[in-house]
Amino acid sequence: MWDINYQGARLGREVADRLTAQNPDKPRFIAGSIGPLNKMLSMSSDVNDPGARLVDFDQVYAAYRQQIEALYEGGVDLYLIETITDTLNCKAALKVIMDMEAEGKDKLPIWISGTITDRSGRTLSGQTTEAFWNSVKHAKPFAVGFNCALGADLMRPFIAEMARVADTLVAAYPNAGLPNEMGKYDEEPHETAHELEDWARQGLVNILGGCCGTTPDHIRHVADAVKGVTPRKPPERAKALRLAGLEPFELA
């Protein structure tokens, strides 16, 4: 697994450097994708045993350590912890990155992207947008947001909430709508672009892209639609933290 991640990063590095050399006014960067695991730390693996887990924190940490070290050695420009269903898994990846920095590795930007699993607006491990942000903000990511799961029309309120609370860049790359009964995505490139252009013009986002069902044509349409639109300006400090039953208060 180490070699696969390393070689993938090296290939991306070579292509990015070649394209940047051809067009220095449009530099390319490589994001080391740190995807979700198929096992979660926050949820039971047995409906009859709330405490059951298939992995512990140290095992998840070790798995991420192998991947992140390989991506780093392969030459990525930033870490992208994405499609996060369980924030505790994400925290294990963040600890790896912080430990590597403490050991003398270069500090690379961190992009954190969760996923909302349904219209309730929560991650699979049960967090709302605001709770998710407050769980990961200690890592000081250069960007935070959501990807996958929902199409742009259904994801919008959660991106708007992230734009309200996060004092960093907000990123989003939704699916091309929801899959049909055959598992295919019917949303056309101009439809995705129309939705995301609206987000951009309302000042909700800084980074846009596409996830499941999107094609190069989708990305071209989105890029053309938002060209020249002023990106969101992050607030100078985070919004007030809200806790159940209490009034909002500012963090020091």
Parse the chain into domains and list their residue ranges. 1-46+53-76+88-103, 109-237
Rg (C-alpha) for the chain, rounded Å, is 19
For domain 109-237, the CATH class is alpha beta
- Residues 46-105 have pLDDT tens digits of 989 999 999 999 999 999 999 999 999 999 999 999 999 999 999 999 999 999 999 999
> Distance (Å, rounded) from C-alpha 249 to C-alpha 88?
25
> Distance (Å, rounded) from C-alpha 6 to C-alpha 182?
35
**Residue 31, number of CB atoms within 10 A of its CB:** 17
**Residues near 151 by beta carbon (within 8 Å), at least 6 away in sequence:** 174, 175, 176, 177, 178, 187, 192, 195
The segments of the chain whose pLDDT lies below 70 read 237-252
3-class state of residue 40 by DSSP: coil
Here the tokens at position 83 are: 């499609």
pTM: 0.91
Q: Quote the pLDDT of residue 35.
A: 83
Half-sphere exposure (CA, 13 Å, Cβ side) for 52?
Answer: 7
> Distance (Å, rounded) from C-alpha 121 to C-alpha 171?
17
